Amino acid sequence: LNCLQKVDTFLHRGVGTDAAVAQAQTTERDGSEAKDGRRSLLAVQDERREQAEKSVLISCQSRPSEKKFLKYLSRHGDVNKYFFYESYGVYAVVEFASRDGVASLIEAATIPSVSHESMVPFKSRLLSLRSVDSLNHQSGLPCQPQTSVSISELVHRLSSEDSVEQQITSLTEAFQLTEENSRLRFLVCSLLNDIAAAYFPECTIRPFGSSVNGFGKLGCDLDMFLDLDSISGWNVKQPKAGLLLEYQMKRANSERAVTQSILSVIGECVDQFGPGCVGVQRILNARCPLVRFSHQPSGFQCDLTANNRVAMISTELLYLYGELDPRVRHLVFTIRCWARAHGITSSIPGAWISNFSLTVMVLFFLQKRNPPIIPTLNHLRDLAGPADNSVIEGHDCTFVRDFSKIHLQRNSETLETLLCEFFVFYATFPFSRMSINIRKGKEQNKPEVAPLHIQNPFETSLNVSKNVNATQLSRFVALCQESSWLIQQSERNSPKSAAGESSPTPWGLAALLLPSQVEGMKSRKKRRREPVSETIKSLLESLKNKNQGKKR
Ligand code: CTP
Ligand code: MG
């Protein structure tokens, strides 16, 4: 069935039947896929990277005629897959069956001559199509959306659903990365890889963070990691005798200094020669040095880091948790969206709670259910095999990757229950004393003074949410209180009849995404702040007592 589904996906896109069958067979053969279809993140990434290396990005003046466009491309090689999207113009992503197709296309392309500008002699895989009239056409395959719907559109959409459960799944569907967006992310990494390879021919640029951890929303930033491990000798045993490569031995004071100088030259290169890369900033003094820029043809905000192996591991961990039970991704998407709608998270760095912190908070909550929905990180470490062993800069980063070794406990709570309980859990969590710890799955005494303490799962002496101030934490708590109250109101929690109305009344999850009542009251009448949150708190306590009564 799995194999058939894959073929169907390819056929649906209209091209490459043979290639699809071959690919589905290869996946079955190489054993990187578990029986139930779940694959490790590394296996997924390898496949995506290979696709990206055989792909080009073409800027089109307007939508070309699909038939003629394909005919033109197929002169250079078989096309596996293609799609169009819009981002300040129309673009096409084209994957050839082999790299020869790309080479032939580039070979045949003309280098433009512009009288008032000089060209940098770098042949990239970002091309532009000067269309002759015969290639121009207005109809064809629709453009694939690369951005998510607005909150107001989402509220409208969710209001027509029949249950909170459906609202939550519908939200995930609206926000999650599409197949095309995911391909585009890997292609941008691959284009950047070509630039970085000018300095480091064997380097790999890999995406990490929400682009690949399963929790990415359309429009999220593209975190990239310049991986030099294959050439840096990291993790390699030194032989007693033999040749040593001198070019690698140029000394630097620290690994951090090496990272900074590598990113500095790559940043310069991206700035000077990177097609479509604009607004390049080299932020080298940050705890994790990075180069930030905007990749115009894709519309992605990119953060390029190096020597960031722990972040890569935490991406793998989040991916694993997201694959264990579908409720994990649904709840994370819902909470991330809810937090964004209320300004708890922001795209601007500051004292806000980050999406990463929020995700860890959801995971912790799911570990605390009775029975737990997901295991603790320590349990995942205990299940690890020899191939999973990993110690990075003294930090134990070992955990199991093989899904078949992980046995989950039976917990059949609905998404509606979990959403409500999430708000109750954090509305009453003892933030002032306790730290959130997904390694142990238990709150721990806070090791340091910080309003919100979430232990970094791998660098355990670090607080993931060190940046969060007391004001932002209390806003989060107040909104949890309000939302838990709202969602337990039965009359708000059932679909409203839309008969005769042009737009259905927001209810259930949709109502939770509307501007907060508490916030509104606070800004209108600052003096009444305490009584409002106190009222909600006491209502919550009474609800909690009532629920506990029911359980007994
Ligand atoms: N990360 C980390 N420790 C932190 C912050 C980030 O280990 N204190 C890692 C996580 O793996 C995270 C990744 O770096 O997923 C990227 O960070 P960021 O872009 O802040 O978070 P995302 O998960 O990508 O979420 P967003 O969609 O907001 O970009
Ligand atoms: Mg990110």
Q: Kindly give the distance from the C-alpha atom of residue 253 to the centroid of ligand 1, in angstroms, as a whole number.
A: 28
Q: Which of 46-50, 118-122, 184-188 has the lowest mean pLDDT?
A: 118-122
Atom of ligand 1 nearest to the CA of 314: 11
Nearest CA to ligand 1 atom 21: 356
Triad 478, 511, 352: Cα angle to 5°? 40
Which pair of tokens denotes residue 232?
């840096």
Ligand nearest to the CA of 456: 1
Burial class from Cβ neighbours inside 10 Å (0-12, 13-18, 19+) for residue 432 reads exposed
pTM: 0.86
pLDDT digits (tens, 9 = 90+) for 205-248: 999 999 999 999 999 999 999 998 766 655 566 777 888 777 66
Cα of 348 from ligand 2 centre, angstroms = 12
Cβ 314 under 6 angstroms from ligand 1: yes
Q: What is the pLDDT of residues 479-510, one digit of tens each?
A: 999 999 998 876 666 776 555 556 788 899 99
Q: Model confidence over 262-288: pLDDT tens digits?
A: 999 999 999 998 999 999 999 999 989
Q: Is 290 in the pocket of ligand 1 (CB under 6 A)?
A: no
Residue 256 reports pLDDT greater than 60: yes
The answer, yes or no, to whether any atom of ligand 1 lies below 6 A from the CB of 221, is: yes
505: left (phi over 0), alpha (psi -120 to 50) or beta: beta
Q: What is the ipTM of this complex?
A: 0.98
Q: Find out whether the beta carbon of 148 lies less than 6 Å from any atom of ligand 1.
A: no
Residues 76-101 have a mean pLDDT of: 93
In angstroms, the Cα distances linking 297 to 170, 341, 386 are 29, 28, 43
Helix (H, G, I), strand (E, B), or coil: what is residue 528? helix
The encoded tokens of residue 2 equal: 């799995």
Cβ of 455 closer than 6 Å to ligand 1, yes or no, is no
User: Is the CB of residue 209 below 6 angstroms from any atom belonging to ligand 1?
Assistant: yes
Could you tell me the maximum CA-CA distance found in the chain, to the nearest angstrom? Answer: 85
State whether residue 205 is helix, strand or coil.
strand
Q: Write out 46-66 in H/E/C secondary structure.
A: HHHHHHHHCEEEEEECCCECH
Pocket test for ligand 1, best of 301, 345, 356, 461 (most atoms within 8 A of CB): 356
292 CA to middle of ligand 2, Å?
12
E strands, 323-435, are 391-392, 395-396, 434-435
Using CB atoms within 10 Å of the CB of residue 536, give its burial: 0 to 12 exposed, 13 to 18 middle, 19+ buried.
Answer: buried
Among 25-39, 116-130, 153-167, the minimum mean pLDDT is found in 25-39
Question: 199: which DSSP letter?
Answer: T
Band the pLDDT of 529: cuts 50, 70, 90: very low
Ligand 1 in contact with 316 (CB < 6 A)?
no
